[in-house]
Amino acid sequence: MFTESPRRLSQGVYWITDCLVMEHEGEQIHAYSSAYLVHGEDCSLLVDTGHPKDWASVEGQLDRLHAAGVPPVKYFFPTHAEVPHAANLGRLFNKYPDAVAVGDIRDYHLFFPEFADRLSPMGEGESIDLGGTEFVLLEAVIKDLVTSLWAYDRRSQTLFPGDGFAYMHHHQSGECWKTAEEVPDLPIPAFTALFSSYALYWTRFTDIEPHIAALDRLLAQYPTKVIAPGHGSPVLKPEETIPRVKQGLRIGSEQILDETRSSSAA
């Protein structure tokens, strides 16, 4: 059964989400647009903002965490400027009047001009001390937008890839709040390939292997125990799931390139 209570993924990391329920080919399916609260001893940071339709649920989950002793949110980190990842930012600014937004926020003053003085640009390699843990901004190895950034929490060894690990966008009604490894027979390669064909349009025109190599280098530099994506279930066993995501990226890229070559030949 779906619950609004946030799920603890690791020390100081909580998964905050709600379900979008829709009908597809006669079947009811669910989808996430997730946010994550990361906290240290001094303050908390929110990765992404959740979808606007989920605001009441997101706010309720944040309030429950604070009531349980989690420090107030001081930073917002939208991974990129899309509705599911950044659109609640104005509401969050109002809720936390002392907080600031960080990251590649070059256009956010156009969306939220009344909060322009609370936008703090930060880039790859810069970090924030939350007290007992460090939140590091990383290059988005697999970009959704040119402004996309990933991030990493050192204490919990959690990677936040935004849309970069979009190996699933939907789940069944009995799979809410489950991690990837808790969903039986999850077709990760097929889902990854399908999403690449729709959302990662640039894979039509490039070789995916350098990006997979860059992912390997990043994971070697930042050992990862948890992967917390913007959509789909979090990953608690990266050693099992990452190879399947890579397989899906390769399948999707090759399918798209084959279709492109066929169209060009015609």
Domains of the chain with CATH codes: 9-261 (3.60.15.10)
Tens digit of each residue's pLDDT (9 = 90 or more) over 204-217:
677 889 989 999 99
Burial group, residue 108, by CB count within 10 angstroms (0-12, 13-18, 19+):
buried
Indicate the range of 36-40, 91-95, 229-233, 262-266 predicted with least confidence: 262-266
DSSP letter (8 states) at residue 235: B
Mean pLDDT of the chain: 85
pLDDT tens digits along 140-193: 998 888 999 999 999 999 999 998 876 555 555 566 668 888 877 666 666 666
Confidence of residue 247 (pLDDT cuts 50, 70, 90): confident
44/74 Cα distance (integer angstroms): 6
Copy the structure tokens of residue 93.
């600014």
Residue 257, pLDDT > 60, answer no
Confidence bin at 233 (pLDDT 50/70/90): confident
| Three-state secondary structure call for residue 247 | helix
Confidence of residue 249 (pLDDT cuts 50, 70, 90): confident
pLDDT at position 252 is 61
Largest pairwise CA distance in the chain: 63
Encode pLDDT of 74-109 as tens digits.
999 999 999 999 999 999 999 999 999 999 999 999
What is the pTM for the complete model shown? 0.86
Helical segments of the chain, H only: 55-67, 83-86, 89-95, 108-111, 188-199, 209-221, 238-265
